[in-house]
Every structure is written in C-alpha cells, then in structure tokens.
Amino acid sequence: MRRREPERRRRRERGRPRLPLRRSLLGRLLIVSVLVASCAVAATAWLAVQTTSGAIRQEQGQDLSSDAKIYNTLLGYAATHPRWEDVEDTARELARTSQRRIVLTTEDRRPLFDSAGASSVAPLPAQASAVVDPLSVDTVLVPDAMTAGSDRIDPRAVGPFLLPANERTELRAITEKQVACLNSVGVAADVVDGPSGRPRIEFVRGDTDRDLEFKCVAQNSGATLTEKKALDELNTLADACLKRQGHKGATLNLDLSWDRGYGQITAAEKQSAEKQSAEKYPSEKYPAEKKAAAVERGDDRAIASCVGSARREQLTDHVAAPALLFIDGTGAVSVPGFDLSPSNTARIVGVTALVLALTVGVSVIAGARLVRPLHALTGAAQRMRDGLDSAPVPVGPDNEIGRLAAAFNDMAVHRARLEEQRKVMVSDVAHELRTPLSNIRGWLEAAQDGLADPDPAFVSSLLEEAVQLQHIIDDLQDLGAADVGALRLHPEPVYADELLGQVAAAYQGPAETAGVTLSVATPKPGPPGPTLYADPVRLRQAVSNLVSNAVRHTPSGGRVTLRSYRTGPGHGDEVALEVSDTGAGIPADDIPHVFDRFWRAEKSRNRSTGGSGLGLAIVLKLAEAQGGTASVVSTEGKGSVFTLRLPPAPAEAPADATAAEAAAGPDGPDPINMTL
C-alpha cells in the first residue's frame, strides 16, 4: 500500500492545473519589476534631460556673464584709449581667465587681435558677438545704470574733460575738507573719484540733514580751466546743432544740464503750438501757459539730442574706433533652447531598452530563486498532507523565505512528535484500560465457573480494578474538558498550609508503606501562612498528583517535603506550593517533557514504577486553568522540586468565605466557567 501512495500523489499532482503566470508569485514579481523598471527608467531619462538642459542653460548663462565681462572691459579700454594698438595685454588676460577665444576686428573685419594667435585658420562667424563702441553702448550686455543717460555713451569716455594732476589735487583737497566737515557733524560721507578725475562726495547713508549738508558744501568748487574749455567747446557744438534745427541756444552746465530763457514766443513757435493744441485739445481753447510748456518740451528734446550729438563729435578723437568682438566664434549672445538630436534620442532609447532588458533578466533570475524554496515548501506540505515522511526543507539565508522554511521544519518536527505521542497515547490508553478490564473479566469468569468464591476479598479486588478504570477515565475527561475550555471551577480563598496538611494526611499511609518520610514544612510560630485564590478540590487534586508521583519515585528512606510561601512583589506576588523529594531525579533531556501526556521517564508500564502518565499533564492544566503555572527543577541523583504558582486571595475576601459567595453576595454561589 505504501508503494502505491507516491504514485497516487504524482497522479494527483499531474492532474492539478498549474497556476497561470499572471496569478503566480513569479508572474506578479515580473509585472511589478517591469512597471518599476519602466517608471525608474522614464524618470531617470526625464531627470537626465532636465538636468542636462539646466546644465546647458547654466553654462550658457555663465557664458553670457563672461561675455558681458569681456565686453565691458574692452568697452572701458576703448573709452579711455584713442586707438586699439595696446589692447593685446588686456584682451589676452581676458582670454586666459575666461578660457575663451577672443577676436577683435575693425568694422571691415581687419584683424586687431586674436587670442588664438596668427596661426589660427578658424573662420569667423557671419555675425559678431557684439560691437565695441563707447559712443553706442550695447544695453543688453551692459545695464542702463552703466551708461550716462539715454545717449548710450559710456561714462568712462570723458575726452577733453579729463583733469590734469594739479587740478585733481586741488579739487580733492577741497572735497576732503567738505567730507571732514560732514563727518564732524555726524554725516557719514566719503570721497569718490569720477571717470574724469573730479572727486565727488558720496554719502554712506541715504538720509542726511540737508541744513548740515548745505553748510558744509556751500562753497562748492566750480569748473576748472580744463573743464571750462571742454564745456565751451561742447556748448558751441550743441548751439550749432540747435541753430540748424531752428531752436534757440542753451547754456550747458558742468553736469551737462542746461539753462535757457525763452522771452517772447516767435510766430512760428506760436503757430506750431496752436497746431499741437488743436490736435490734442480739439474742444477747448489752448491756454498760453500750455503753449509755453509745449514749446519747452520740444526744446528739451531738441537740446538733449543736440547735446548727445555734440558729445559724440567731441569724443570721436579721444576714444577708439568701433570694433567687432567675436567670442568663441559664437554668432549670438542669446541663450538658445535645448533640443535632442535624433542620434541623442536613439542613444537614450537604446540605453532605456538595455536597462529594461537587464531589469527583466535580473527579475527572472531573482524570481526563480525566490520561487524555488516556495516550491520545496509546497511539495513538503503536500507530502505531509498525504501522510508521508517529509525531509527537512533546505533553509536559505536569514530572510523571509529562510525564516519560513525554518518555521516549517520546526512545525514538521513538532507534528511528527505529536503524531508519535498520539500513537503512544492510544497504545498507553489501550494498555491502561486493558489491564483492569482483563483482571475484572478473569475474576468474573472464575466466579462464573465456580473457581472463585464472591467473598469480600473478591469483591474488594474487583472494586479496586473498577476504581482504577474510573481514575483513568476521570483523568482523560478532565484533560478533554481543559483542552476545550470547559473545566468548571469554583475558586475561593484557601489556606495553603491547611490544604498541604490535608494532602499529607491522605498520603501518609502509602508513604509509610514505601518507607518514605512525608512532612509539611511549617513556618515558625507567627502569622498564618499565605492564602491563595483557587478551587480547593481541583487544587487538592493537583497537589495530590504531585505527592503521589513524588512518593512513588522516592526510594525507601527518602523524604518528601511540602511547603508554601509568598513569592513577593518582585517575583509576581504569587503563592507557591512546593513538593520536593530526594528521589532519583529527572535527566536534563527529559525535563521539557515531564508535563506531556502519557510521558514517563521509565518506559515500563509496570504500576510499581509508573502510573498512567496523565498525572503531571493534569497538574499543568489545573494550574493554568486557575491562572497559575507549574514548573519543575530537578538534579539527577539528588531529587526534584515541583512548584505550583497561583494568584493570592483578594485582600477584601474573608478567609472562610467561598469565592462564589464573595462574588455573588446573598443570592448564593455562582460557579465560574474557567477557559484556558
């Protein structure tokens, strides 16, 4: 029959349909891995593109900043030098610090400077990066604050307004006195040199006392001889421009502002103002003051335009000619967008596919390694279900699967041990029931055949065998009730020493017959012993089993001692009942099994050396049912100590009252159904 079991099992396994891939652990792992890999690859690609774009934009922004610095430096050189001959040192230093190629050419593309050297054959782009012209500043590369007004003339281009050393010294001395005066009255100020060399006062804080400021700078220094000469020349050029446009002349100040007096408006100016009034105010009469304001605005625009033209004309011989600037050969200074080329797109797609393929391959290998121990566990479980012996499942690394395999092996070992105990229990129960039944049957058959007289000794023998059967049946019934939580208990306060004395008195006869001294260790005179809360009948049964077991395993001349004590708050605050003997003790390997059912240290079934094997199992169940524990400490050759630990009696419960009366009051006892 056993040879046919594996064959039937294999047929059942062949007939069982395999799980579809989408429902199997491997399939789910693959799907999740592909999804995760796809998302990771897509996110990585997006992040790479965004990062690359940001890096390119940042690099181009840095290039733009570097270009602006190069342009501004060369613009300052052109504003302070009439020619480009000596620009080589400045331009070469810029090329070295910026790591860029810098090329300067005239407007007709004749080379002025090339940082790559004369041997460079790289062609120049069609469009220059910028035009270096101090008389027409590129406001994209240089902020408006760097320019002097709206004429786009570099403020460093001063031309004939550049002061000689003696005039600078004289003006600085005057300015320093004014600053010292301001500092003495608590106004923070400093001396700053302008592009022409004229010093000026710069206030450290924005808010100043106007009265104190006026007192210290009342004697302001006027224009020097150099400035007067340059200003007269500029005024002449501006007046000539205004005259050509039909406007009156204006008197320019040193800060290039102007003063003008109109007097009577000419006929032509009046006609022009009236025409503007008719266009702007068609339904009302144009007042005379608005006419004058219109003329004034027109003159201001004309004067500003002519002053700008005059400044360019005056500075032409003092600044370098316009030059074309090429940086790194780029044709523009604007920041272009970032677009992936087809080759870059194909490269990203290829890398993505490669990463996806590697992820799927690794997932397949990992999934197969993950599923292999699960298959082994499944096969072992099926063999266990079919009643076949199952070899231990290999335990892998310390992970979830490895721990599952270890737990499965422990379960299999425990199941095998339980199965063996079940077989032994059935055999033991059959033997324990067969012996008294055989005796009863034999005596009854002898009486029936007339071979034995039914005298009192005969009846006593039959009664002893029937009582033994009843004990075994009662023990099995108690264990069964405890297993299903149906063991009914009636707890009440119990004097521990009194209960131990009752048990000792009951077993004094068997102990004397066995030559064993049985005693209760009573404390010195003083307060009564501890009181515990338990069912006295069940507790007496548990202690009786321990005493019976101790007397049976203690040789003649030995001693069995019973005692009780309070464990104290530090040890759970329980009442301990202790039964110690001086018997042969229990081997260390057998101690974990002493409370198992039908387990006996001696395998013999002779009642002179061993009982049914249910006594200690019942002791453990009765202790646990009443909220306590049972334990044993034994030394082979010296004896054993069995201990029951149970909760103490409530302080408010009277010592002579039952637990049911204390709980139910005057209505009578209410038995408690204790569940394990």
Higher pLDDT, 485 or 230: 230
Under 8 Å CB-to-CB from 588, ≥6 apart: which residues?
636
| pLDDT for the residue numbered 262 | 44
Mean pLDDT of the region 419-433 = 71
Model confidence at 523: pLDDT above 70: no
Model confidence at 365: pLDDT above 70: yes
| pLDDT for the residue numbered 227 | 86
Mean pLDDT of the region 59-72 = 75
Helix H or strand E encompassing 635:
strand 629-635
Rounded CA-CA distance 375/303 in Å is: 98
Whether 531 contacts 566, CB under 8 Å: no
Whether 646 contacts 500, CB under 8 Å: no
Higher pLDDT, 149 or 131: 131
Whether 319 contacts 79, CB under 8 Å: yes
Q: What's the pLDDT band for 181 if we cut at 50, 70, 90?
A: confident
Q: Provide the token pair at 447.
A: 């009486």
Query: Which of 273, 268, 270, 238 lies closest to 253, judged by CA?
Result: 238
Mean pLDDT of the region 126-148 = 76
Whether 659 contacts 648, CB under 8 Å: no
**pTM for this predicted structure:** 0.42
Mean pLDDT of the region 64-76 = 85
Under 8 Å CB-to-CB from 497, ≥6 apart: which residues?
520, 522, 528, 529, 564
Q: Provide the token pair at 673.
A: 């159904």
| pLDDT for the residue numbered 322 | 93
Q: What's the pLDDT band for 432 if we cut at 50, 70, 90?
A: low
By DSSP bridging, strand 559-566 and strand 517-520 are parallel
pLDDT tens digits, 10-40: 555 454 566 566 666 667 677 777 777 777 7
Q: Is the dihedral of CA 635, 638, 641, 642 positive or negative?
A: positive
Of 123-132, 393-402, 463-472, 599-608, the one with minimum mean pLDDT is 599-608
pLDDT tens digits, 638-649: 899 999 999 888
SS3 (DSSP) at 489: strand
Model confidence at 264: pLDDT above 70: no
Whether 216 contacts 182, CB under 8 Å: yes
Q: Provide the mean pLDDT of the chain.
A: 75
Place of tokens 């100590």: 641
Mean pLDDT of the region 420-428 = 72
By DSSP bridging, strand 323-327 and strand 111-114 are unpaired
| pLDDT for the residue numbered 518 | 92
Rounded CA-CA distance 373/392 in Å is: 12
| pLDDT for the residue numbered 609 | 46
SS3 (DSSP) at 169: helix
Please name the amino acid found at residue 38. Answer: S
| pLDDT for the residue numbered 3 | 43
SS3 (DSSP) at 220: coil
Rounded CA-CA distance 251/262 in Å is: 12
Rounded CA-CA distance 78/85 in Å is: 11
Mean pLDDT of the region 194-210 = 76
Mean pLDDT of the region 413-427 = 75
Angle at 33 between CA 27 and CA 37, to 5 degrees: 150
pLDDT tens digits, 388-407: 776 787 777 666 677 788 88
Under 8 Å CB-to-CB from 250, ≥6 apart: which residues?
238, 239, 242, 258, 259, 260, 299, 303
Mean pLDDT of the region 525-530 = 65
Distance between alpha carbon 171 and the CA centroid of its chain, in Å? 68
Mean pLDDT of the region 472-497 = 76
| pLDDT for the residue numbered 323 | 92
Q: Residues in the chain, how many?
A: 676
SS3 (DSSP) at 630: strand
| pLDDT for the residue numbered 280 | 52
| pLDDT for the residue numbered 206 | 57
Q: Provide the token pair at 527.
A: 């307060």
pLDDT tens digits, 159-178: 898 889 898 888 888 888 88
Of 41-45, 414-418, 449-453, 483-487, the one with minimum mean pLDDT is 483-487
For the chain, what percent of residues have pLDDT higher than 70?
Answer: 69
Q: Provide the token pair at 629.
A: 């524990």
Rounded CA-CA distance 311/135 in Å is: 9
Numbers of helices and strands, H then E, in the chain: 16, 17
Mean pLDDT of the region 453-469 = 75
Question: In this structure, how many other beta carbons lie within 10 angstroms of the beta carbon of residue 585?
Answer: 19
Higher pLDDT, 374 or 3: 374
Mean pLDDT of the region 275-302 = 55
Under 8 Å CB-to-CB from 224, ≥6 apart: which residues?
163, 167, 170, 171
Rounded CA-CA distance 662/294 in Å is: 115
Largest CA distance in the chain: 174
Please name the amino acid found at residue 190. Answer: D
